[in-house]
Structure formats: C-alpha cells, structure tokens
Amino acid sequence: MKRVSLDMIAKEVNLSKTTVSMVLNGKGDLHKINPDTQALILSVAKRLKFRPNMIARNLSTGSSKTLALIVPRIIDTYYGLIAESIEQLSLKLGYQVLLGTTHEDPVKEKELLLTFEAQQVDGILIASTQHNLEDIKTISDAGLPVVLFDRHYPEADLPYVVVDNYLGAQKLVKHLIESGRKNIGYVGLNLDLTAIKDRQRGFENAIEGRAKDSNNLKIVDHQHAKSDCRKAVEELILNQGVDGIVFETHYLALYGIAKIREMEVDYPGAVSIASFGDHEVFSIFRPEVTALVLPVEQIAQNSIDMLMRQIENKPGDDPHLNKIVEPSMKVRNT
Amino acid sequence: MKRVSLDMIAKEVNLSKTTVSMVLNGKGDLHKINPDTQALILSVAKRLKFRPNMIARNLSTGSSKTLALIVPRIIDTYYGLIAESIEQLSLKLGYQVLLGTTHEDPVKEKELLLTFEAQQVDGILIASTQHNLEDIKTISDAGLPVVLFDRHYPEADLPYVVVDNYLGAQKLVKHLIESGRKNIGYVGLNLDLTAIKDRQRGFENAIEGRAKDSNNLKIVDHQHAKSDCRKAVEELILNQGVDGIVFETHYLALYGIAKIREMEVDYPGAVSIASFGDHEVFSIFRPEVTALVLPVEQIAQNSIDMLMRQIENKPGDDPHLNKIVEPSMKVRNT
DNA sequence: ACCTGAAACTAAATCGGTTTAGCAAATCTT
DNA sequence: AAGATTTGCTAAACCGATTTAGTTTCAGGT
C-alpha cells in the first residue's frame, strides 16, 4: 500500500538515491552514470511502478507545475471554451490547472487568490471581477506570474490579453446600420468592468443618430439579468420603438430572443438583433442569430504564452506585451 | 521577495518553530502555550503576512487538500454544471479542485489519472470513458479514494453515483406515448458506456410496439455527431415516418431540432421530440423543448459526500453506498 | 529539603525528492 | 611510476512544514 520512493529503488539496486534521482530525471548521461547502471535503475523503476512524489519534488524545486485559472463561471460557454483551451495547452506544457470560479464576487476571488498563492501555483490566469487590484498587485509584485485575460485593470501595470470591445461594439452597430436599421437599442449589464464600459462606449460612439434617445441604452442588473433583460427588451420595442437591438453578452441575447418571440413582433423583420459573443445555439435558432465572435482560442493561447514567458524568464523581460485581440462578425439572419 | 516561513517568524519572536507551528495551527491551547506567547506569534505572523507553504505542509501531512475532477468536456453544460457544483462544495470543505478533460479519449484519461495520482491528490472524481478500469482499480486499490460519477463500471467494485438512465428512457417514451405518438424514433451515440446502453435498453423496452421497426433506433458516431444526427433525423422522418423522437443527449436534440426546422415538417405537430438532459435554451426555443432533467446538484453532492467518506475513513467502511439518482421530466411544448 | 507534576517550550526526525560538493578507483599522460 | 584526469558514484544539505519525545523551570505537597 505504501508508495514506491526513490529510497526504495536505491535500496533495491544498491545505489544511492542521488544516482537514482539523476537517472530517472534523464540526467544520467550528464552526470556520467554508467549506461548499464542507468538501464538497471530504469528497469527496476518500471518494475516497481515508480511514480515520483510531486509534492516532494515541488517542495524541493520550488515549482509546483500547476497553474491557477480563475473565471467568473464555468458554465458560461465563453469561459468554458477558454478554460478547455487553457487546460489543453497547459497539459502539453506539463502544467496542471487548478480551477476557481468567482461568480463575480470579489471576496470569493480574493480567497481564491490567497489559496492559490499558498498552494504555490507557478502562475495565475484570471478573468477578474476587477475589484481586487490590491491583492493581484501584491501577488504579482511578490514574483508570482499573473496574466489578466478578458478583463484587465487599465490603470495597473499588469500583463493582459483582452478583446477589443470598443471595436466590437462598432462592428455590431455598423452591421445593423448597414442592414437598414434606423433606431438601434442596446441591452447591457451593470458590471463595473472595462470590457463592459468599452462595449457601451463603443455603442454610443458608433450609433451616430441611429437611436431615438439615450433611453435606447438599457442597463440591467446582472443578478437579475433574465427578468430585467426581458423588461428592457419590452421597453425598447414598445416605448422606444427600436428596429434593432445589440445585446452585450450571448446570454442577454438568449433572454432577449425569448422575450421578442413571446411579444410576437415581426422578428427579424421589424426588430433585428446582434449579440456580443457567439453561442452554439445561435446557428440552430431559426432565424440564426448574428453575433460578434470572440476569439477564445486566441485568448487562451496568448494568455498561456504570456504567462509562460513570465514563468521562464523571471527578470523584467518587457512585461508590456499586452495583447488586444480583434473580434469578428458572424453575420447570420437576424 | 522571499516568502515568509515558520523559521523567520520563530527567529523574530525568539521561539522555536515548533511553538510557532502549533500556535498558528490553533493548537496553542492544546499544547499549553502561554496565551501571551500565542498572541505575540499571531500578531507577528499577521504583520509579516505569513502564509504557510502548502507544498511543505502537504509533504509533511501526506495530504494535498486537493481533489481531481475528470470529465469528458467542460463546455458540455451538463458536466459544466456538475463541475461548478463540485468546485463550490469542495472549496467549502477546504479542498482545491484540479480539472482534467478527456474528450472521451481513454489515453488522455489514463495520463490524467497518473498525473493526478503523482500530484498526490486526496481523491478523484471521474466521469470515465469506461475504458480504464485497470488503472482506476489500481489507483483505488493503492488507497486513493475514487468516486465514479455519471458513468461507472458495473462489473467493478468501485463506488459510484449515476443517473437511472433506464428509468429515464422509460419516462421519455411514456411521455411521448401519452401525448399520442404511435411511431417513436431514437437518436443515440455509439459510445460504449453503461449510461448510453441503459438509455437504449430503456427505450427498446418501453416502446411496446410504438415503433415501426428496429430501424427506428439510430446510432450515430460521436465524432461526427452533428452531421450524422441530421442524417438520422432525416431518415427517421422520411423513411421511418416517425411522429416522435427521443434524443439521447441535449446536444443531439439541439442538432436534431435544427434539422427538423430545416425540413419544414410540422413541428411539434407532426413530429414531437423529447431530450435526455436539459439545456438552458430549451425554454427559450419556440416551441419549448421537453426534456428529462438530470439532477446535477444531487450528483455533485452525492459524489462529494461519497468521496469525503472515503477520505475521512480510510478503512473499509462499507464502500457499497452507491447512489442511483432519479431524473425527472420537464414537460414543455414538444 | 526533596519529590511530584504541571506548564511552557524545544531539538530533532520526518515527508521524498533535488542538488552541491566531493571521494575513490580507473585511465591517461609524459 | 608519479601525477593529472576522468569515470562513476555518494553523503549530506536543503525545501518548509508537522510531530514525537523530551527538557527545563517552577509551584505545591509533605
């Protein structure tokens, strides 16, 4: 029942555990261990099914070969997709992934950060609530590599990978305008995030008179997103008389579409929509939903790259290689 | 830049690290450490922002306070939901969660198992590909707690939490029959999983003549689920003339619905459907999709409970507390 | 004055690896 | 044949905690 340790192998072959350790780490030749000895150790290790105790190795090397991934929620397919990409990429690089979800709660996020730090992760990838700059700064300053993705702290000097949300909003509005819409509405969230603010700014800036008035921009409470979004859609259509709506996230679009259908307005004839972020069902819905595709693979890849660069190259190394990825329109029928 | 260790605190207060360790672990009173001394240590620890090195602690205690969660894929909302539940529950119990996704690849699964074992996780929760009994058995026999969830190895003596899929299939068929369907089809996957087999058996057993012939049961390749599912639906409707279809998973239902709509048959009038597993959009689609709800919270809770019982009570302790949870119908409009 | 026992604390072993510094024997120089 | 290298290997420190088995000091009992 007891695990096989280096010592046991050493005893078995009558050599020191130093030798065994070196050989099993592939440094046998480097340390000029006799090939025969190496073969012997290797075979015994295999026979005894030796698996190094990573905890011990980690303590000794100071590296845990583990990354922490912190996201708002994992059932959000956007973060789910990023999580899956990151997990795959990490594994290829020999790193495990510890998962944490915040549900937009800064307190939970802080706890996660502290736990992961204590857990000696080698790096942290975080889509932050943007309410924990202090702690993230402290952790980063202490030398633990951090990469912010999807959401960043613009005022801080921390590496990040984000989407160009301002541009994204413009693309969405442009699409609706080009398809002939004259009075465009917007449903967004009351989250205090740069990404969100950028989307709203982008919308306001691109709208160029194609909105009745400022009431065309509806901000709903993220805690009651579903019911509030439905209300917002109703108001936009009934009171504001919009003929097009931009939804700030895929799930707002989902809620909105449900409401629009119930209202039995001519959709997408009288009211056309476009969503920030794609969703697997957007091409299954009839009509298919037009969306702005956020490049999840790119985000994952860039984040991992950025983190690895920090991990492998502790000293400064120009941390200002921030990445702003560009989203692209997937025009469908709405 | 250097982390604060027990030794540093010990030096600071001129005491041994034994004392410091005891106090910081709340065992000060137990070991009769002077209250004043305790207060002093606590305050210094706080001042220096001491965070114990978990790796060192883990090596010493032999426990990593980490659980491994292995699922086929995390973007599948079913597993996503379970993952989120498990993460929340674990955190409350003081455990971190290491995530691994297999994509139904037994080789990847085996790698994950070995890595997690080496990583000294305290327990493993796995929705297995059901092609790694050997390795899972070995790990479990070595004393590492394992709980199989969603998918189990019926022939093996390993604790599991699964859904009653046989019953589920019956409920789905019963619903369609009761709503007047006379010729019911089925679209399933070619996965060699008990859960899948049970669903198919359940369907065949409940159908009681309400199927034209055995061609009403279509099995599609899980690698090309989307295109094959569309073909299957087409055949069921055109060749078999079905008036009802049971889909073996929520995503098959999604693909199927898309195809049905394109075919412009009277839906759900002429062809009614029901899906194994719910999906957030099923209540957004018009018509709303009838589904069999799999109790994810229950699965998560039971799995964690079962794992904790093993972790806390190493000796035998009746491992035969397997749990089979019951799914429930969510009847909507299809 | 001597013994007992509790109070308050500590030295050292331990977990299982990695790594540095160095030793003994064999081989090569010249 | 003496000295210099190389080959092949090992002892012991180290990572930072936990934990066992004591030790010292002092008060109380007789």
Q: Which residues of A are less than 8 Å from B284 in CB distance?
A: 254-255, 257-258
Across A195-213, average pLDDT: 89
Q: Is the pLDDT of residue B1 over 70?
A: no
Averaged pLDDT of chain B: 91
Span A241-277, pLDDT tens digits: 999 999 999 999 999 998 998 898 998 889 999 999 9
**Nearest CA-CA partner of A172 in A79, A85, A244, A91:** A244
How large is the average pLDDT for residues B135-142? 90
Correct CATH for A165-293 of 1.10.3720.10, 3.40.50.2300, 3.40.190.10, 3.40.470.10 = 3.40.50.2300
pLDDT band, residue A319 (cuts 50/70/90): low
> What are the tens digits of pLDDT across the range A173-191?
999 999 999 999 999 999 9
The helix (H) or strand (E) run that includes residue A274 is strand A272-276
Q: Is the pLDDT of residue A94 over 90?
A: no
Cβ of B18 less than 7 A from strand C? yes
A82 touches strand C (CB under 7 A): no
| CATH architecture of the domain with range A66-163+297-326 | 3-Layer(aba) Sandwich (3.40)
| Same-fold call for B66-163+297-326 versus B165-293 | yes
Give mean pLDDT, residues A50-75.
Answer: 93
Residue (of B272, B256, B101) closest to B181 by Cα position = B272
Q: How many Å apart are B253 CA and C17 C1'?
A: 51
Backbone angles phi and psi of B265, in degrees to 5? -85, 165
Dihedrals phi, psi of A277, to nearest 5 degrees: 85, 135
By three-state DSSP, how is residue B155 classified?
coil
How large is the greatest C-alpha to C-alpha distance in chain A, in angstroms? 86
Share of chain A above pLDDT 90, in %: 73
Residue B283 has what pLDDT?
86
> What is B6-61's CATH topology?
434 Repressor (Amino-terminal Domain) (1.10.260)
Q: Other C-beta atoms within 10 Å of B17: how many?
A: 15
The pLDDT of residue A312 is: 82
Is the CB atom of residue A60 positioned under 7 angstroms from any atom of strand C?
Answer: yes
Which residues of A fall within a CB distance of 8 Å from B255? 284
Please say if the pLDDT value at position A137 is more than 80.
yes
pLDDT digits (tens, 9 = 90+) for B68-82: 999 999 999 999 999
The C-alpha atoms of residue B102 and residue B129 are separated, in whole angstroms, by 8
**Residue A84: band (very low, low, confident or very high) from pLDDT cuts 50, 70, 90:** very high
pLDDT exceeds 60 at position B316:
no
Q: Residue A65, CB, less than 7 Å from strand C?
A: no
The protein residue nearest nucleotide C9, judged by CA to C1', is B19
Domain residue extents for chain B: 6-61, 66-163+297-326, 165-293
In 3D space, the residue among B186, B179, B231 whose CA is nearest the CA of residue B212 turns out to be B186
Centre a 10 Å sphere on the Cβ of residue B247 and count the other Cβ atoms it contains: 28
Tokens standing for residue A328: 């692209």
Distance B15 CA to D30 C1' (A): 36
Q: In Å, what is the separation between the CA of A69 and the C1' of D15?
A: 26
Determine whether the interchain pair A64/B55 forms a contact, defined as Cβ–Cβ distance below 8 Å: yes
**A164, exposed or middle or buried, with CB in 10 Å at 0-12, 13-18, 19+?**
middle
Cross-strand pairs, A149: A161
Identify from A1, A50, A57, A58 which residue to disrupt to test chain B contact, counting B C-beta atoms within 10 A and taking the largest count: A58
- Of B79, B198, B72, B67, nearest to B131 by C-alpha is B72
Residue A207 has pLDDT above 80, yes or no: yes
Closest by CA to B259, choosing from B280, B288, B240, B235, is B235
- B255 to chain A, any CB pair closer than 8 A? The answer is yes
Within 8 A of A115 by CB-CB distance, chain B residues are 96
Using CA atoms, how far residue B323 sits from B63, B77, B164, B328, in Å, is 27, 22, 10, 16
Q: What is the mean pLDDT of residues A169-175?
A: 95
CB of A34 nearer than 7 A to strand C: no
Q: Strand C within 7 Å of which CB atoms in B 99-118?
A: none
Give the closest of B87, B91, B98 to A97, CB-based: B98
Collect all residues with Cβ–Cβ distance below 8 Å to B88 and sequence separation of at least 6.
Answer: A101
Closest CA to B77 of B331, B292, B300, B277: B277
Which nucleotide lies at the shortest CA–C1' distance from A62? D15
Tell me whether residues B55 and A51 touch, CB distance under 8 A. no
Strand C closer than 7 A to residue B96 Cβ: no
Q: What is the pTM of this model?
A: 0.88
Residue A268: asked if its preceding bond is cis (omega within 30°), the reply is: yes
Q: Taken in order A141, A146, A152, A154, is the CA torsion positive or negative?
A: positive
Find the nucleotide nearest B7 (Cα to C1′): D16
A148 touches A140 (CB < 8 A): no
Residue A20 to residue A13: CA distance in whole angstroms: 9
Q: Which of A96, A254, A281 sits opposite B119 (nearest CB)?
A: A96
Give the integer Cα–Cα distance in Å for B68 and B58: 16
Query: For residue A327, is pLDDT > 70?
Result: yes
Tell me what pLDDT residue B159 has: 93
Q: Tell me: pLDDT of A331 over 90.
A: no
Which of A 90-149 lie inside 8 A of B, CB atoms? 91, 96-101, 114-120, 142-143
What region, left, alpha or beta, does residue A10 occupy, with left being phi > 0 and alpha being psi -120 to 50 degrees? alpha
Lowest mean pLDDT segment, chosen from A150-159, A205-214, A244-253, B140-149: A205-214
Average pLDDT over residues B161-178: 95
pLDDT for residue B213:
84
Q: Is the pLDDT of residue B321 over 90?
A: no
**Residues B24, B29, B32, B33: is their CA dihedral positive or negative?**
positive
What pLDDT digit, counting tens, does each position of B203-259 carry? 999 988 887 888 899 999 999 999 999 999 999 999 999 999 999 999 999 999 989
Q: Do A80 and B80 touch (CB under 8 A)?
A: yes
Tokens of residue A62, six digits: 């100071």
Query: Given the structure tokens 């920030």, which residue do they identify?
Result: A276
Which residues contact residue B42 at a Cβ distance below 8 angstroms, ignoring those fewer than 6 apart?
A: B23, B24
Looking at residue B2, its pLDDT comes to 67
Beta strands in chain B (DSSP E): 66-71, 96-101, 123-126, 146-149, 160-163, 184-189, 217-220, 244-247, 272-276, 290-293, 323-325, 328-330
Q: Which tens digit of pLDDT belongs to each residue from B293-314? A: 999 999 999 999 999 998 887 5
Please give the Cα distance from A327 to A295 (Å, whole number): 6
Share of chain B above pLDDT 70, in %: 97
DSSP B270: T
Structural element, H or E, at residue A134 = helix A133-141
Nearest CA of chain A to the CA of B114: how many Å? Answer: 8
What would the two tokens of residue B322 be? 């397997």
pLDDT given at position A321: 77
Per the rule left: phi > 0, alpha: psi between -120 and 50, beta: everything else, A125 is: beta
In sequence order, the β-bridge partners of residue A123 are: A67
CA distance B34 to B18: 14
- Residue of B70, B74, B139 best to disrupt the A interface, most CBs of A under 10 A: B74
Residue A295's Cβ-count burial label (10 Å; 0-12, 13-18, 19+) is: middle
3-state helix, strand, coil in chain A (%, to 5): 45, 15, 35
Distance A32 CA to C29 C1' (A): 22
Question: Given a cut of 80, is residue A320 above it in pLDDT?
Answer: no
Lowest mean pLDDT among A135-139, A313-317, B192-196: A313-317
